[in-house]
A and B are shown apart, each in its own frame.
Chain A
Amino acid sequence: DGGITQSPKYLFRKEGQNVTLSCEQNLNHDAMYWYRQDPGQGLRLIYYSQIVNDFQKGDIAEGYSVSREKKESFPLTVTSAQKNPTAFYLCASSILVDGAGELFFGEGSRLTVL
């Protein structure tokens, strides 16, 4: 089955530690995205990538980093510089066509900082 796989589903980390969230897609989509979901805040865009070896900052990129070395993979690192990292992180992908690029989402990773 085609889809987006995020891991781990749950993650705990201590303050001051970096953590990397994995996102893999087998949909052959060009673009990939990372969103952060907080209660009452909706989804906010962290980073996105339209093509391999290129990525752009979203609305709340501070304290995060990404890489796009392969088309199917777009890992997100939550660094110790992120002031409030406890959140639900969603990875998405889309195939870029004329018109809107519908997003397909993974099941998410819940990060808790202790």
Chain B
Amino acid sequence: AQSVSQHNHHVILSEAASLELGCNYSYGGTVNLFWYVQYPGQHLQLLLKYFSGDPLVKGIKGFEAEFIKSKFSFNLRKPSVQWSDTAEYFCAVEGESGGGADGLTFGKGTHLIIQP
């Protein structure tokens, strides 16, 4: 079974700082990767996803992530964070059968706090 590891459980940054949240997965086959975000009081929503092709993917709100197959990593980045980026961020990997049929395996999440 695959697993997802997020390195930081809590991150505190000041506005305009650069952000990188680490994510590593254990599955050795072809993977599809996701980052989800949960803003305070809101439902989980997709930030970005990687299926194939260019390993650098861009998502909403200026976020991007880079898939590095040799490192089993899919780190999330943003060059300059805003107070409104305060949220919980989850990395996820697709189920083994493909096509999303078995659901996604999620990491434990990173709680990001941006100080004004």
Q: A residues near B, CB below 8 A?
A: 31, 33, 35, 40-45, 48, 50, 56, 58, 90, 92, 94, 96-103, 105-108
Q: B residues near A, CB below 8 A?
A: 4, 6, 9, 32, 34, 36, 42-46, 49, 51-52, 90, 92, 94, 98-109
Across-interface contacts of B42 in A (CB, < 8 A): 107
A99 lies within 8 A of B99 (CB): yes
Contact with A101, one of B90, B100, B106, B109 (Cβ below 8 angstroms): B100
- Interchain nearest-CB distance for A96 vs B (Å): 5
Number of residue pairs spanning A and B whose beta carbons lie under 8 angstroms apart: 74
Interface of chain B: mostly helix, strand, loop or mixed? loop
How long is the Cα–Cα vector from A33 to B44 in the complex, in angstroms?
14
How long is the Cα–Cα vector from A44 to B106 in the complex, in angstroms?
7
Query: A100-B34, A102-B34 are known contacts. Are A94 and B108 too (CB-CB below 8 A)?
Result: no
Most A-side CB within 10 Å, residue of B32, B43, B102, B107: B43
Across-interface contacts of A56 in B (CB, < 8 A): 102
- Interchain nearest-CB distance for A7 vs B (Å): 14
A-B contact pairs, 19 of them (CB 8 A): A35-B103, A40-B9, A43-B92, A43-B106, A45-B103, A50-B101, A56-B102, A90-B43, A92-B103, A96-B101, A97-B99, A97-B100, A99-B51, A99-B98, A100-B99, A103-B36, A103-B100, A107-B43, A108-B43
